[in-house]
Amino acid sequence: MVVGQVRPMAGSEERYWDDLKWAVSRHAELVDDYENEWIAVYDQRVVAHNPDGRRVKTMARNKLANERFVLYYVTAANTTYACESQVCHY
């Protein structure tokens, strides 16, 4: 790799960032349905939700196996909490 060259994103990495942007852009809508809950977002849709983030992570992993997904906490406060499924440790 040449210094200054941008590395293309792998498919799962690009999808992760698209999913995070999707969740942030729809935050107000998500508050209506999932306030004070963690959600798992994959392919721009909510695949699991629960107030317990560990439970959401387990539910999503059961559905998606080893696919990367966004864990996103939905709160009415003007704050965003999100992490990548393979990095977020409970």
Rounded Cα distance between 46 and 43, Å, is: 8
The pLDDT assigned to 12 comes to: 75
The pLDDT assigned to 77 comes to: 81
34 Cα distance to chain centroid: 14
Mean per-residue pLDDT pooled into runs of 10, the chain (90 residues): 47 87 93 95 97 95 92 82 60
- Please tell me the pTM assigned to this model: 0.79
The pLDDT assigned to 3 comes to: 47
The pLDDT assigned to 60 comes to: 96
Rounded Cα distance between 71 and 58, Å, is: 11
